[in-house]
Structure 1
Amino acid sequence: MNDDRIPTLAVWKFASCDGCQLTLLDCEDELLGLAERVRISHFLEMSGAEGSGEGEAATLAGVGPYDLSLVEGSVTTAEDAQRIRRIRQISRRLVTIGACATAGGVQALRNFADVAQFRAAVYAHPEYIATLATSTPISAHVPVDFELRGCPIDRRQLLEVITAYLAERKPNISAHSVCFECKVRGTTCITVAHGTPCLGPVTHAGCGAICPAYDRGCYGCFGPSNSLNLESMVRQLKHDGMNDQDVMRVFRTFNAASPEYAALPTLTGQDAAAEEEAR
């Protein structure tokens, strides 16, 4: 991005609720300032053009490349898997935004069940629905330059990531847990004070510790922190009154397919229960 031309930005959607794209639109004044420094070449969420599907097909068929691509959503169809590979080819930098793109999202709950049963329960004619058996993060299919966590993402962190790549530097995104944010805002630890189950110790910072500030345990919206001690967290949750099934459920929400949570079945005894049921 060192030449005199204006850098280009593209925003792409996969299986998601659009909440993270709306976070970018929610930047409002900052977005206007950003538009002076970068050309937003593809962003269907902010486009009023008709025939958006054809428009994206034409964009993907183009030569590119885009200096920065932001990708929201998980891969849930064979077409998705093909499309993300093409997007990677025409993107100098690719950043995934939100829990769906970084960890499969809530739709990754299908990974632990029979997707055919889900289709039959939801759709009148499931035979017309083409989908994969799993919902997977973008990084499972192509190399990713940076993962911005959250459900939805934090607007300040998003602006920092975009600015960092325009300036050709590493994004300055904190790697500590939500507990640190509680300390910064002076929030009393709800687990210590009240015995409230809270995922703050193992959850990536970025939300500003909103839930603990209102005496609610952290739900883990921002996914696993970089210094994850899952075994200790499971022990603490059980100490706070959760049984094995409760523990499994509290982790299998926004970031169900996070590889960091792969040890959960063993830690909660779910593997043994499944084997017993199979017998």
Structure 2
Amino acid sequence: MTMPTLAVFKLASCDGCQLTLLDCEDELLALAGRVEISHFLEASSTVAAGPYDLVLVEGSVTTAEDAERVREIRACARHLVTIGACATAGGIQALRNFADVDEYRRTVYAHPEYISALATSTPVSAHVDVDFELRGCPIDRRQLLEVITAFLAGRKPDIPSHSVCFECKRRGTVCVTVAHGTPCLGPVTHAGCGALCPAYGRGCYGCFGPSRSVNLPALIPLLRRDGLDEDATERLLHTFNAPAFDKEVSR
């Protein structure tokens, strides 16, 4: 019986989500016995041609070459899953979407004429059909294993869509906003991190992007009450998932 094939590709990113897969260690070894890892340059120089049963894509589309490459990847993928904030929302590099990229080029590079880049950094879903988006900067290893095993087993991944606030309550963490007046994006952020920052007395930074039910107009006055002016609120929202939160603000 032929084993299902798995491929992992990278676009514009820091490799952190691929490293999360490598960090699975024992679980990855068990998985390797059930699938053929056909393309994963972060782990092996062995490359087998597609088509592939499951493809994981990390990174955003930031160049014309990225856009063409992701179309080629989609063509050889039975199922395509994007992993991480870059692939699902454009990532930190999508901050350029709110500025003049040509000005950045002139300011940063001695020879800007050698730099070829699109005016925006966009998620993979803006270019091709995606079967599932796994959030996070970086992604959570437990959620990643759930997604991989679900697709290989032919079922829907069991990934929660509620907010980080649910995770705080589950682990018994006192609300940092209610108890200490700490600005926190937990009420509008997708669960998946285990409410790590609030567990250590810090407000959520929105690493996993907007949750399914987002009410930013209600949260922003609370952020202002807790000491964030308009510029500080904008900076808090313009980090890992800036375009996704910006879209929610404009609704």
2:107 paired residue number: 121
Is the counterpart of residue 166 in structure 1 residue 135 in structure 2?
Answer: no
| In structure 2, C-alpha distance between the alignment counterparts of 1:121 and 1:76, rounded to whole Å | 19
- Scaled by the length of structure 1, the TM-score of the pair is 0.87
| In structure 1, C-alpha distance between the alignment counterparts of 2:219 and 2:129, rounded to whole Å | 30
Q: 2:247 aligns with which of 239, 256, 262?
A: 262
Q: Where in structure 2 are the equivalents of 1:52-201 lying within 5 Å? A: 62=49, 64-201=50-187
* Pairs aligned (count): 251
Which residue type is aligned with residue 100 of structure 1? C
Q: 1:29 aligns with which of 17, 21, 26?
A: 26
Which residue type is aligned with residue 67 of structure 1? D
Q: 2:9 aligns with which of 12, 26, 31?
A: 12
Task: Tell me how far 1:194 sits from its aligned partner.
Answer: 0.7
| In structure 2, C-alpha distance between the alignment counterparts of 1:98 and 1:238, rounded to whole Å | 29
| In structure 2, C-alpha distance between the alignment counterparts of 1:40 and 1:165, rounded to whole Å | 15
Please give the root-mean-square deviation of Cα atoms over the aligned residues, in Å.
1.4
Secondary structure in 1 matching 2:146: helix
| In structure 2, C-alpha distance between the alignment counterparts of 1:70 and 1:8, rounded to whole Å | 11
Indicate the larger mover: 40-49 or 163-172.
40-49
Which residue type is aligned with residue 228 of structure 1? V
| In structure 2, C-alpha distance between the alignment counterparts of 1:262 and 1:172, rounded to whole Å | 26
Task: Tell me how far 1:263 sits from its aligned partner.
Answer: 4.9
| In structure 1, C-alpha distance between the alignment counterparts of 2:76 and 2:174, rounded to whole Å | 47
Secondary structure in 1 matching 2:38: strand
| In structure 2, C-alpha distance between the alignment counterparts of 1:152 and 1:121, rounded to whole Å | 29
Secondary structure in 1 matching 2:214: coil
Q: Deviations over 1:195-243 (max 9, x none)?
A: 1000000000110111111111000001000111111111221121211
Which residue type is aligned with residue 70 of structure 2? I
Is the counterpart of residue 253 in structure 1 residue 239 in structure 2?
Answer: yes
Secondary structure in 2 matching 1:74: coil
Q: 1:242 aligns with which of 220, 228, 242?
A: 228
Task: Tell me how far 1:48 sits from its aligned partner.
Answer: 4.3
Task: Tell me how far 1:244 sits from its aligned partner.
Answer: 1.4
In structure 1, runs of 5+ residues without a counterpart are: 50-54, 268-279
| In structure 1, C-alpha distance between the alignment counterparts of 2:127 and 2:41, rounded to whole Å | 23
Secondary structure in 2 matching 1:250: helix
Q: 2:43 aligns with which of 46, 56, 63?
A: 46
In structure 2, runs of 5+ residues without a counterpart are: none
- Scaled by the length of structure 2, the TM-score of the pair is 0.97
Identity over aligned residues, as a percent? 72
| In structure 1, C-alpha distance between the alignment counterparts of 2:31 and 2:7, rounded to whole Å | 13
**Contact conserved, 2:214 with 2:248, CA < 8 A, in 1?**
no
Task: Tell me how far 1:120 sits from its aligned partner.
Answer: 2.0
Which residue type is aligned with residue 19 of structure 1? G
**Contact conserved, 2:55 with 2:79, CA < 8 A, in 1?**
yes
| In structure 1, C-alpha distance between the alignment counterparts of 2:11 and 2:230, rounded to whole Å | 33
Which residue type is aligned with residue 249 of structure 1? R
1:273 paired residue number: none
**Contact conserved, 2:94 with 2:242, CA < 8 A, in 1?**
yes
1:223 paired residue number: 209
